[in-house]
Structure 1
Amino acid sequence: MKKIFISTIALLSLLSLNGCTDLSENVLDEASATGLTDKQAADGNIAPVYARLPDLFSHTTYFAIQEISTDEAILPYRGGTDWGDNGIYIALHQHVPASTDPNLLNTWRVLSQAISRSVTALNALPTIKDSNVKTYIAEARGMRAYYNMLMLDLFGVVFVKDDPAIAASSKILRGEEALEYVKTELLAAEPDLLTTVGPGRLTKGGAWGLLARLYLNAAVYRDRYATQFTFKPEDMDKVVEYSDKIINSGQYQLSPDYFSTFNADNHTNKELIFAVDQRSELNGHNRLAYFSLSGDQFPLPAFPLANGTDGPAITPDFYRTWVNAYAPADPAGVDPRFYKKNMTIPADSCVAAANVVMDRGILRGQQYGLLRVNGAFVRCGANYRLGKLFNVVRNRPTLPVNFTEQVDFSVAGSNYSTGYRVLKYEFSPKSQSGRNLGDVDIPIVRLADVYLMRAEAKLRKSNDAASALADVNTVRAARTAIKPAPALSSMNLDLLLRERGFELYWEMVRRPDLIRFGKYESTWTEKTNNDPKKRLFPIPQTAIDGASNTPGYLTQNEGY
């Protein structure tokens, strides 16, 4: 009997999450699928493969563990009442997370289920007669490799299973074996991927970008706790090869306006190679804009409930990399990636709704914006009154929303306005709360990163500083909507890491970057732990407990 795996978006909420590593899904026979065309059956099997990506890139899952564990982001116990969460964000930042951390567990669960759904799709699709099946099989295989690549990066394991109907548990690989498996799967998927389906689906360009990233981190994945990583010349050649494929394809281009890459309408932005499709019509719901803003910053005149949540700030350490790079000038006036001024607000001004557009980038000092009283914005006839903001929402009406450089875990450093904030991803103009319809496509691979990966590979293989410098300056010179950052005159690995921070901050690559550059054990604000075992996160205890009936099947990472 022909089998059809029913997996439409409407049914996704009914599928349970679990931490088990026995990857399986329920199989429904065709009698339960009456009325489905082959196209509907094919579409219904590929959709679940991508459906967990928005959940994975939630502010408290992948974003939190990739950023708050680094020098780019810190989340204190705000005002002694908010974001305490039993100390999980403090522990994450200080490199002492527990195996019971709920954000690690949620990330593990999403990845486990995404791998499971990819396996299910790979078994169902060959039985369906539709013209898209060959492409969908390649996408499912490539996405299974991508989810396993994240498992390898975060937890040091990958799961291998090809048939969900087989009762046996997935095979677990680590180290070199795991690296080779992910590589083999991406290479097998690439020939049948398309080039024309947009950044929300895995394309040839997306596979090339993931392969470049995999080869660049291969030294880390082979020997996770090495005192010094060995970057093989042949691996660096592959980074250059796949980067060249992307750059020379002519399909992608660097955005003249840096922040447009992170606008709500960025789905057609040609810098994006592979991204999480978050268009509001597809129920995009990321909270990456809302996460860092003050609770008294209301970006949208149409929605008086849409505000921030006083979440993470950048550390003074990361801020100082900008200051030191451009001193004595203010980085806001030199590098268009640091800050973009969108709204000039004289004291107690009145503006039309269309002119209420928040500044972007790294936000410092006293903040101005829409004034809300008794749940409604103060009006000036048809216009809106803007003024100096105070922490009214937090019941601190005399405390200005004045972002300071200092932020730490002390009482003074944990107040509601401590730390410079980040508004890199545009606050969705359709979001009624900041918690919904976050419709900025979240970049997974974009062209600027490809140039910087190629630059790094050239430095690591042969210390080709001239070629690396040319790639870095190509990225800097491209941001012409505002005066671009000045060209650099020299290049080395330390400068390249700094440049990756400037270009890619808040994009969930900082943790693997710091590990690869040998900086993850360094000291920064509120973090002194230098244990290399913390390069991996602990495997959630519930996952280990769930596999306890098979002794030795899933063992905890060293150091936990």
Structure 2
Amino acid sequence: MKISFKYISYFFLLVLGLNMTLTSCTSDLDVTPGDDDEFLSEQFFQDPASYKQVLAKLYAGLYVGGNDGDGQPDISGIGGDFSSYLRLLFVTQEFTTDEAIIAWADGTLPTLNSQTWSPANEFLAGTYSRAFYEISVANEFLRQTTDEKLTARGVDANLKADIAAFRAEARFLRAFSYYNLMDLFGNVPITTEADPVGFFYPVQKSRAEVFAFVEAELKDLDNSLAAPRTNEYGRIDKTAAKFLLAQLYLNSKVYTGVDKFNDAGTVCADIINNSGYTFANVPYSYLFSADNDVNGAQSEFIFPVISDGNAIRATGGGMSFILHASIGGSMDASSRGMDGGWQGIRTRREFVNLFPDETATGDKRGTFYTNGQSKDIKNVGTFTDGYAVTKYINKKSDGSAAQRNDIPDTDFPMFRLSDVYLMYAEAAARGAASANTGTAVGYINQLRTRANAATINASQLTLDFILDERGRELFWECHRRTDLIRFGKFTGASKIWQWKGGSINGIATESYRDLMPIPSRIIQANPTLKQNPGY
């Protein structure tokens, strides 16, 4: 069953000091709860049920932007809907690439479409702050769940055992945020539960140091996370840590200058052969339907971000954003299981061209809505310029309705086994001794057979093919920016798409934009931070 988030609506956690990376060092968090439903940490943790509630808060933080769904935003200066973790990952990983573009002109949002952002970009500030907010909550949870604290509160042995598992998951979610910060911003501070609570400026660490911290955490968590496929659906286990470790190694050359493709292949082979997660032998569309937690797709979901129309009141965050914003023009919102469209997101012509046709005939994954839409994007602000994308749907795989049509049930597949197949294949193509080319071709052909696409042979398993195949299989799953950077095609002129660089036909962009700037408001809050080169 899905982990329940519905009972955390009024949870309030006072976290001092470690969120100094938000709009001010401590003032945004140095507040007194305003009603009887809010608690300070020490008082809150007297309740035995509180420990799982905080864990639920950490997981819910991936989807919603504040308590009470998008209300009571966690982060000052940006609304709860705009500051949803998943929404911000989508904005930074997709709008900056060939896979997506958004019509809206909110603030500095258009600069993400064109790779012309600056340190003043409020969406980058939101992304940075959201990740550190999650880290701060995890750190406070770890402080409050030491053996000494639990013994002093008289926590019984059975609950202590549960809390030990919760601590491991909190550490994973913290590592996940550090991975995203390192990937997007490079050199960032590291704070843990060992740091003091109160005013201080955390020391900025090099990207390589953050890499080493995340690697060490993920390796150590293999000793304490739940065994594969033994946790509640929606909660992570040892395999999620291995998946993130494989991602870390696959991108090691970018992050540290050191090639670790062989390590990536080794970890991927371990996941494929020993985790118990299995390739979902169901139609590709099932993976992105409202019942993807029960329709067979879940067999390959290593780390889903849970959606639930009744339990998670997120009107503008997470999948509510992705689904609403991708509906417009002549599209019938009800056919997508939704109550309306926000006329926002569609894709660019260069991404459409990765598929053999525009009708999902030669590849079932290429599902575009073209009626009344032009493939060419002459005006970024016009939704009908650019094909719409119908990958996600808020209907069950049999076509029946979800729980409601304003907030979707469709879970977001943050990590899935198909990506492990693709990472293994890339390791093989890059010459890793730990990955066999013939085996990799077999994995790729499983993906392509499910998509009703032509199979390939070993000679076709090139790096260019793998980058394109990652796009076809994983588009709109928050991987594209990282993938393009790893292949040397995010900035520069080696890969051009419409409106890259702000030009209708695309132009080369500066290589320093492979890293996002440290947001201005973050540096104002912590003047010891150094800006990334070029900004």
2:114 and 2:283 mapped to 1: Cα distance?
A: 35
Instruction: State yes or no: 1:259 paired with 2:285.
Output: yes
Q: Where does residue 342 of structure 2 map in the other structure?
A: 309
1:467 and 1:90 mapped to 2: Cα distance?
A: 42
Instruction: State yes or no: 1:536 paired with 2:515.
Output: yes
SS in 2 for 1:192: coil
CA contact (8 A) 1:275 1:442 kept: yes
Instruction: Note the alpha carbon deviations across 1:262-300, whole angstroms, 9 max, x for none.
Output: 111112421211011112343163221111111653433
1:178 and 1:473 mapped to 2: Cα distance?
A: 36
1:314 and 1:32 mapped to 2: Cα distance?
A: 46
Shift of 1:21: 7.1
Query: Which one of the candidate residues 190, 204, 210 is aligned to 1:172?
Result: 204
Q: Where does residue 54 of structure 1 map in the other structure?
A: 63
Structure 1 residues 281 and 539, CA gap change in structure 2 (3 angstroms): same
Structure 1 residues 405 and 295, CA gap change in structure 2 (3 angstroms): closer
Q: Where does residue 207 of structure 1 map in the other structure?
A: 241
SS in 2 for 1:525: coil
CA contact (8 A) 1:206 1:274 kept: yes
CA contact (8 A) 2:326 2:343 kept: yes
CA contact (8 A) 2:63 2:86 kept: no
**Which amino acid is the alignment partner of residue 171 of structure 1?**
V
Shift of 1:148: 0.5
**Which amino acid is the alignment partner of residue 453 of structure 2?**
A
CA contact (8 A) 1:208 1:246 kept: yes
SS in 1 for 2:293: helix
Instruction: Note the alpha carbon deviations across 1:194-226, whole angstroms, 9 max, x for none.
Output: 132245222111111111111101111114xxx
Higher strand proportion, which one?
1
Instruction: Note the alpha carbon deviations across 1:338-396, whole angstroms, 9 max, x for none.
Output: 1xxxxxxxxxxxxxxxxxxxxxx3211x2xxxxxxxxxxxxxxxxxxxxxxxxxxxxxx
2:234 and 2:192 mapped to 1: Cα distance?
A: 25
1:282 and 1:241 mapped to 2: Cα distance?
A: 39
Query: Which one of the candidate residues 248, 251, 268 is aligned to 1:217?
Result: 251
Instruction: State yes or no: 1:139 paired with 2:169.
Output: yes
Structure 1 residues 59 and 125, CA gap change in structure 2 (3 angstroms): closer
Q: Where does residue 422 of structure 1 map in the other structure?
A: 389
**Which amino acid is the alignment partner of residue 505 of structure 1?**
F
2:486 and 2:404 mapped to 1: Cα distance?
A: 40
Q: Where does residue 487 of structure 1 map in the other structure?
A: 455
Instruction: State yes or no: 1:475 paired with 2:456.
Output: no
Shift of 1:164: 5.5
Shift of 1:518: 0.8
Question: Where does 1:152-301 land on structure 2 (aligned, <5 Å)?
Answer: 152-158=182-188, 159-163=190-194, 165-167=196-198, 168-194=200-226, 195=228, 196-223=230-257, 232=259, 235-248=260-273, 249-268=275-294, 269-283=298-312, 285=314, 286=319, 287-294=321-328, 297-300=331-334
Structure 1 residues 197 and 422, CA gap change in structure 2 (3 angstroms): same
**Which amino acid is the alignment partner of residue 532 of structure 1?**
S
Shift of 1:478: 3.6
SS in 2 for 1:443: strand
**Which amino acid is the alignment partner of residue 117 of structure 1?**
V
Instruction: State yes or no: 1:453 paired with 2:428.
Output: no
CA contact (8 A) 1:54 1:284 kept: no
Structure 1 residues 134 and 63, CA gap change in structure 2 (3 angstroms): same
SS in 2 for 1:45: helix
SS in 1 for 2:255: helix
SS in 1 for 2:414: strand
Question: Where does 1:331-410 land on structure 2 (aligned, <5 Å)?
Answer: 332-338=360-366, 361-364=367-370, 366=371, 402-409=372-379
Instruction: Note the alpha carbon deviations across 1:211-250, whole angstroms, 9 max, x for none.
Output: 1111101111114xxxxxx5x2xx2222122212221133
Structure 2, unaligned runs of 5 or more: 1-5, 32-38, 65-82, 396-400, 501-506
After alignment, is 16-25 or 510-519 more displaced?
16-25
Shift of 1:9: 1.4
Question: Where does 1:479-558 land on structure 2 (aligned, <5 Å)?
Answer: 479=451, 484-489=452-457, 490-521=460-491, 522-527=495-500, 528-548=507-527, 553-558=528-533
Structure 1 residues 50 and 302, CA gap change in structure 2 (3 angstroms): closer
CA contact (8 A) 1:408 1:525 kept: no
Q: Where does residue 74 of structure 1 map in the other structure?
A: 101
Instruction: Note the alpha carbon deviations across 1:138-179, whole angstroms, 9 max, x for none.
Output: 111111111100000111134233235443333322221111
Structure 1 residues 104 and 94, CA gap change in structure 2 (3 angstroms): same
Structure 1 residues 282 and 25, CA gap change in structure 2 (3 angstroms): farther
Structure 1 residues 114 and 462, CA gap change in structure 2 (3 angstroms): closer
Q: Where does residue 125 of structure 2 map in the other structure?
A: 105
Structure 1, unaligned runs of 5 or more: 1-6, 77-82, 224-229, 339-360, 367-401
Larger CA Rg, structure 1 vs 2: 1
1:15 and 1:294 mapped to 2: Cα distance?
A: 41
1:202 and 1:101 mapped to 2: Cα distance?
A: 32
SS in 2 for 1:49: helix
SS in 1 for 2:109: helix
Q: Where does residue 503 of structure 2 map in the other structure?
A: none
Identity of aligned residues (%): 29
Shift of 1:501: 0.7
TM-score by length of 1: 0.75
**Alpha-carbon RMSD:** 2.9
**Which amino acid is the alignment partner of residue 191 of structure 2?**
V
Structure 1 residues 270 and 301, CA gap change in structure 2 (3 angstroms): closer
Query: Which one of the candidate residues 110, 115, 118 is aligned to 1:95?
Result: 115
1:426 and 1:15 mapped to 2: Cα distance?
A: 37
CA contact (8 A) 1:24 1:120 kept: no
CA contact (8 A) 2:14 2:41 kept: no
Paired residues, number: 458
CA contact (8 A) 2:359 2:368 kept: no
1:526 and 1:467 mapped to 2: Cα distance?
A: 38
2:531 and 2:23 mapped to 1: Cα distance?
A: 14
Shift of 1:71: 0.9
CA contact (8 A) 1:295 1:309 kept: no
Shift of 1:25: 8.6
CA contact (8 A) 1:406 1:418 kept: yes
Structure 1 residues 414 and 136, CA gap change in structure 2 (3 angstroms): closer
Shift of 1:319: 1.0
SS in 1 for 2:100: coil
TM-score by length of 2: 0.79
After alignment, is 40-49 or 201-210 more displaced?
40-49
Shift of 1:14: 7.9
1:71 and 1:15 mapped to 2: Cα distance?
A: 41
2:237 and 2:329 mapped to 1: Cα distance?
A: 39
Structure 1 residues 50 and 453, CA gap change in structure 2 (3 angstroms): same
Instruction: Note the alpha carbon deviations across 1:82-104, whole angstroms, 9 max, x for none.
Output: x1224x33311221112222221
1:284 and 1:198 mapped to 2: Cα distance?
A: 21
CA contact (8 A) 1:455 1:472 kept: yes
Shift of 1:519: 0.6
